Amino acid sequence: MLKNRRENNETKPIDLGDALRSRRKELGLTMQSVADAAGLSVGFISQVERGITSPSLASLASLADVLQTEINSFLQTQPAPGQTTHKISRLAYSVAGADVSYERLSTTFPGSKVHSVIVHEPPGHRAEPISHRGEEMFYIIDGEITVEIEGEVEILTKGDSIHFDSRRVHSTWNHSTDTASILWCGTMDIFGDAPAPIHKEINSMQSTDNSNGDSN
Amino acid sequence: MLKNRRENNETKPIDLGDALRSRRKELGLTMQSVADAAGLSVGFISQVERGITSPSLASLASLADVLQTEINSFLQTQPAPGQTTHKISRLAYSVAGADVSYERLSTTFPGSKVHSVIVHEPPGHRAEPISHRGEEMFYIIDGEITVEIEGEVEILTKGDSIHFDSRRVHSTWNHSTDTASILWCGTMDIFGDAPAPIHKEINSMQSTDNSNGDSN
DNA sequence: ACGATTTTTTAGCATGACTAAAAAATACAG
DNA sequence: CTGTATTTTTTAGTCATGCTAAAAAATCGT
């Protein structure tokens, strides 16, 4: 008997099979050739593409390899059209009390990973050092700022840009006397509306505090 | 007998276990709570994190869910620092004969997915309709252009932006009498230097005989 | 019609994904 | 330090499913 598996699956791969199939078609390959190249059997490819079985991570990796894409591309949550434009009717908003204001540029559609805002930082404003997953890019629309990445300091002025791995500790500072406008573009979801929350209350089940000195 | 699997694995999950573990630590969770929330056993979590076993896609999905990230984040190919900045010393280049010129903004580091250029399109220039994987964003630095996405036409002028799924057929046209400067940002690798080619010659191996024969 | 190629289906084996429970760390209190 | 409580690792064992081989069924070209 199958145990009472929770009703997980909410983030389930969706139609991975379809993705694989369309990609294969895109390359004009036959199941046979894909199977051979990936070291699998034809029948299995068929089963996977039709969603009857799901491949192991290893097999998926082989397939992604053969199909010349990243393994990720098959696990995205649905393509779907999604909304599109945005004009100069952008909702400029600023956090209460904060002196920075934002103009959201990017939209959110199923599968979207890139987010973008124009950030207006007043003179003297500092963004504390931070490190997180993903990558980001700045393009200075107006004004100038100081960017520090893992100790390295750079001064960026109008027209300059920088692109880096967000895991590297980074901070910014508007050292000038004018407001700086920065076009920010990155993979971090700063709007927090991308994936459905779902939120199981995991936190509440552990031992309250902790807050040890932490390792590292 | 394991067959002689090709030397695939090049796209292999790397250290999926580590990724899972550090993410769990990041949330300050215990294996027990994660196991419970995901409907799995503690021991199994331990095994997975230590790379002794690899989870099925279904389990991975549950875990990603519990750990509040996308399933993708565990399959990325290595973090690694990578180079960083870029100033107004950008290599402006233009394709032979073409009247468009580019200034590359983004850098390429292991794991990077976002690419970015400033495109200068002369008056009258047209970019043919195209559709491909990924998403992209335009921000009009100067001038104005007409963008058409799946039939919908939009005129974007300085300061406007648009963000859409690249799978939707899109084209642009500089309908004005001045050169338009567009900051392009997207997930498509327009520089073609991101992942190693690898390219196995799959096409050439079909035809001839084969079919069963050696069964591997 | 035919054979040739590609895909689907069936039946079945064997690996490994997963569990339960005990052992080993790690931590914490007195 | 000793004991108890918590978290992690290990072990042993099961059952499910990822996967193969081969036959059946489409699809296609001539």
pLDDT band at A149 (very low <50, low <70, confident <90, very high): confident
How far apart are alpha carbons B95 and A214 in whole angstroms?
53
Which pLDDT does position A108 carry in this prediction? 63
What is the CATH architecture assignment of B16-74?
Orthogonal Bundle (1.10)
- Distance in Å from C13's C1' to A72's CA comes to 31
- Distance in Å from D26's C1' to A51's CA comes to 19
The pLDDT of A139-165, averaged and rounded, is 83
Does residue A44 surpass a pLDDT of 90?
A: yes
Is residue B204 within 8 angstroms of chain A, CB to CB? no
| Closest residue by C-alpha to C1' distance, nucleotide D23 | A43
When comparing pLDDT for B75 and A97, which is higher?
B75
Closest CB to B11: pick one of A5, A61, A107.
A61
Which pLDDT does position A189 carry in this prediction? 64
Task: Let me know how many helices (H) and strands (E) chain A has, helices first.
Answer: 4, 11
Q: Phi/psi at A59 (nearest 5 deg)?
A: -65, -40
pLDDT band at A202 (very low <50, low <70, confident <90, very high): very low
Going by C-alpha positions, the residue among B123, B9, B3, B154 that lies closest to residue A36 is B3
The pLDDT of A66-90, averaged and rounded, is 56
- Which residue in chain B is spatially nearest to A132 when comparing CA positions? B26
DSSP code for A141: E
pLDDT band at B169 (very low <50, low <70, confident <90, very high): confident
User: To the nearest whole percent, how much of chain B has pLDDT over 90?
Assistant: 4
Contact flag, residue A80 CB and nucleic strand D, below 7 A: no
- Which residue in chain B is spatially nearest to A7 when comparing CA positions? B39
Going by C-alpha positions, the residue among A55, A128, A108, A51 that lies closest to residue B60 is A55
How far apart are alpha carbons B131 and A149 in whole angstroms?
36
Which pLDDT does position B44 carry in this prediction? 93
* CB B167, CB A79: distance < 8 Å: yes
When comparing pLDDT for A207 and B33, which is higher?
B33
Q: Give long-range contacts, CB 8 A cutoff, 24+ apart: A26-29.
A: A27/A67, A27/A68, A29/A67, A29/B202, A29/B203
| Chain A positions in Cβ-Cβ contact with residue B137 (cut-off 8 Å) | 105-106, 114, 116, 185
Which pLDDT does position B93 carry in this prediction? 56
| Chain B positions in Cβ-Cβ contact with residue A150 (cut-off 8 Å) | 81
| Chain A positions in Cβ-Cβ contact with residue B3 (cut-off 8 Å) | 39
| CA distance to partner chain A, nearest, from residue B129 (Å) | 16
Q: Quick: pLDDT tens for B83-132.
A: 344 444 555 555 545 677 777 777 765 556 788 888 888 888 888 777 66
Going by C-alpha positions, the residue among A180, A114, A191 that lies closest to residue A147 is A180
How far apart are alpha carbons A139 and A160 in whole angstroms?
6
Going by C-alpha positions, the residue among B89, B20, B177, B141 that lies closest to residue A118 is B141
Query: Which segment of A92-106, A183-197, B187-201 scores lowest on mean pLDDT?
Result: B187-201
- Distance in Å from D21's C1' to A63's CA comes to 21
- Structure token pair of residue A149: 């990445």
Query: Which segment of A87-91, A117-121, A139-143, A147-151 scores lowest on mean pLDDT?
Result: A87-91
Test B187 with A114 for CB contact under 8 angstroms.
yes
How many CB atoms are closer than 10 A to CB B124? 11
Which pLDDT does position B55 carry in this prediction? 92
Which pLDDT does position B71 carry in this prediction? 79
Does residue A5 surpass a pLDDT of 50?
A: no
Is residue A43 within 8 angstroms of chain B, CB to CB? no
Does residue B184 surpass a pLDDT of 50?
A: yes
- Which residue in chain A is spatially nearest to B10 when comparing CA positions? A65
| Chain A positions in Cβ-Cβ contact with residue B28 (cut-off 8 Å) | 203, 206, 210
Which pLDDT does position B159 carry in this prediction? 82
pLDDT band at B208 (very low <50, low <70, confident <90, very high): very low
Which pLDDT does position A191 carry in this prediction? 58
Residues of chain A with CATH 1.10.260.40: 16-74
Residues of chain B with CATH 2.60.120.10: 92-186
- Distance in Å from D1's C1' to B62's CA comes to 44
DSSP 3-state of A195: coil
Q: Quick: pLDDT tens for B5-42.
A: 333 333 333 478 888 888 888 778 888 888 988 888 89
CA dihedral of A98, A100, A103, A109, whole degrees rounded to 10: -60
Q: Phi/psi at A184 (nearest 5 deg)?
A: -100, 135
- Structure token pair of residue B68: 């509040």
Mean pLDDT of all residues in chain A?
A: 69
When comparing pLDDT for B99 and A122, which is higher?
A122
pLDDT band at B46 (very low <50, low <70, confident <90, very high): very high
- Which residue in chain B is spatially nearest to A183 when comparing CA positions? B139
pLDDT band at A4 (very low <50, low <70, confident <90, very high): very low
DSSP 3-state of B25: helix
Which residue stretches of A97-210 are H helix? none
* Nearest nucleotide over every DNA/RNA strand to the B21 CA, judged by C1': D8
Test B195 with A61 for CB contact under 8 angstroms.
no
- Structure token pair of residue A44: 């299995």
According to DSSP, the β-strands at A92-93 and B170-173 are unpaired
* Packing angle of the helix pair B42-49, B16-26 (nearest 10 deg): 120
Which pLDDT does position B153 carry in this prediction? 80
CATH 3.20.20.70 for domain A92-186: no
Closest CB to A105: pick one of B62, B139, B186.
B139
The pLDDT of A33-49, averaged and rounded, is 90
Chain A interface mutation, best of B45, B54, B57, B188, highest count of A Cβ atoms under 10 Å: B57
* CB B137, CB B172: distance < 8 Å: no
How many CB atoms are closer than 10 A to CB A150? 14
Contact flag, residue A95 CB and nucleic strand D, below 7 A: no
User: To the nearest whole percent, how much of chain B has pLDDT over 70?
Assistant: 65
∠A64-B75-A109 over CA atoms, to 5°?
Answer: 85
Is residue B163 within 8 angstroms of chain A, CB to CB? yes
Which pLDDT does position B4 carry in this prediction? 33
- Structure token pair of residue A60: 């998926």
- A73: phi > 0 → left, psi -120 to 50 → alpha, else beta; which? alpha
